[in-house]
Amino acid sequence: MTVPEAAVALNGIIKRFGDVTAVDRVDLNIADGEFFALLGPSGCGKTTTLRMIAGLEFPTEGSLRIFGDEVGTLPPDKRPVNTVFQSYALFPHMTVIQNVAFGLRMQKVAKAEANERALEAIRLVKMDGKEARRPHQLSGGQQQRVALARALVNSPKVLLLDEPLGALDLKLRQEMQRELKTLQREVGITFVFVTHDQEEALTMSDRIGVMNDGELLQVGTPEEIYERPANRFVADFIGQTNLLDGTVESDGTVCLRNGARVPVNTQSLAAGTPVAVSLRPERAQLHQPGQQPADLPHVTGRLEQHTYLGNALVLTVALDWMTLDVRVENLSGYSAPALGTEVVVSWDRDAAVVVRA
């Protein structure tokens, strides 16, 4: 059995700008037809990685293949990929249809055919009727659609999107997230999507690659990334979590800062390894002292703050050395303990994840 060829394969990719290493030894395979998100804080190297796939930057070291072909040093016009830029980069002196037909015209497609295919792409992104407009006559959302059509009309093997929704307001962004996802299924093209918004990455992608400081820290499905973060950074960056620092003990427990030993799944880490126990607020339970279920890991503290979210409450519990957030669904009849009272936070043994510090 042959392994299906990766749409994009990065092998030991390094990119240096002078003394700065922007991307540090990244290995990554993106499968054909996948909706892949590169996620990380600004300056983590995700955009540089995307630009290397586009051919707008060249790797300092390593191999970059698109459907098996080495493209590392090919200029952007020789690669079967197209990009949706962060600022959309529509050509201001051209109409919508001229913008969309541009790529085809550059590939020497006859004008009539190019216009026909451009119209089709414009229809696909629901911009028909606005072919003769100039970019400055369009709203941000509409420009975004034109930018999408301009890239998709070339039937690229891979579509690259650089924070394409960053400039849109929340409502429009959510709408475009859904549409992008639908569109991707329709056209069946591999999408590589750069974002710093973890929620966007979780809701849209088939798989996510989390980057920080130029390194690719973890690659996995949204569920894997959320449920089994590879390290402290990923646990902290994806969603909300409480990180209780400690060290692994020889009996398979973790000794926390206050000396308490909590039984958790240490994933066969060696004794003495510094770790953090990642406990999601929605996986923790709050109890009156003495009422916590026996033999569950727990810590004791004092209720410090209520944060009302409407459908839920976040209760902040002060431990001796840190604070913990516990999320409680706002079910009918629920009343939170008074501030300042002593409370116990417990969790199921499998609810907390031990990550390397």
Residue whose CB is less far from other proteins, 106 or 309: 106
Q: Cα–Cα distance between 201 and 295 in angstroms, integer? A: 37
Q: Cα–Cα distance between 229 and 217 in angstroms, integer? A: 9
For 106, other C-beta atoms within 10 Å of its C-beta total: 11
Smallest separation, CB 345 to other proteins (Å): 49
Q: Cα–Cα distance between 166 and 154 in angstroms, integer? A: 24
Residue whose CB is less far from other proteins, 152 or 180: 152
Smallest separation, CB 85 to other proteins (Å): 5
Residue whose CB is less far from other proteins, 50 or 217: 50
Residue whose CB is less far from other proteins, 73 or 87: 87
Asked whether 28 and 44 are in contact (CB, 8 A), the reply is no
For 109, other C-beta atoms within 10 Å of its C-beta total: 18
Q: Residue 163's closest CA among 153, 176, 150?
A: 176
Alpha helices in the chain (DSSP H): 46-54, 96-106, 111-124, 140-152, 170-187, 198-204, 222-227, 232-237
Residue whose CB is less far from other proteins, 111 or 185: 111
For 93, other C-beta atoms within 10 Å of its C-beta total: 9
Residue whose CB is less far from other proteins, 151 or 352: 151
Length reported for the chain: 357
Q: Return contacts of 182-185, CB within 8 angstroms, 24+ apart.
A: 183/124, 183/125, 183/148, 183/152, 184/35
Smallest separation, CB 233 to other proteins (Å): 30
Smallest separation, CB 245 to other proteins (Å): 43
Asked whether 345 and 244 are in contact (CB, 8 A), the reply is no
Smallest separation, CB 255 to other proteins (Å): 52
Smallest separation, CB 17 to other proteins (Å): 12
User: What SS3 state is found at 84?
Assistant: strand
Per-residue tokens: 281: 């607020």
Q: Residue 43's closest CA among 62, 28, 24?
A: 24
Q: Which residues contact 287 (CB under 8 A, 6 or more apart)?
A: 298, 343, 344, 345, 346
Smallest separation, CB 117 to other proteins (Å): 13
Interface residues toward other proteins, by CB under 8 A: 54-56, 75-77, 81-83, 85-87, 89-95, 102-103, 106-107, 111, 150-151, 154
Residue whose CB is less far from other proteins, 43 or 76: 76
Smallest separation, CB 90 to other proteins (Å): 8
Residue whose CB is less far from other proteins, 103 or 246: 103
As beta bridge partners, residue 324 has 317
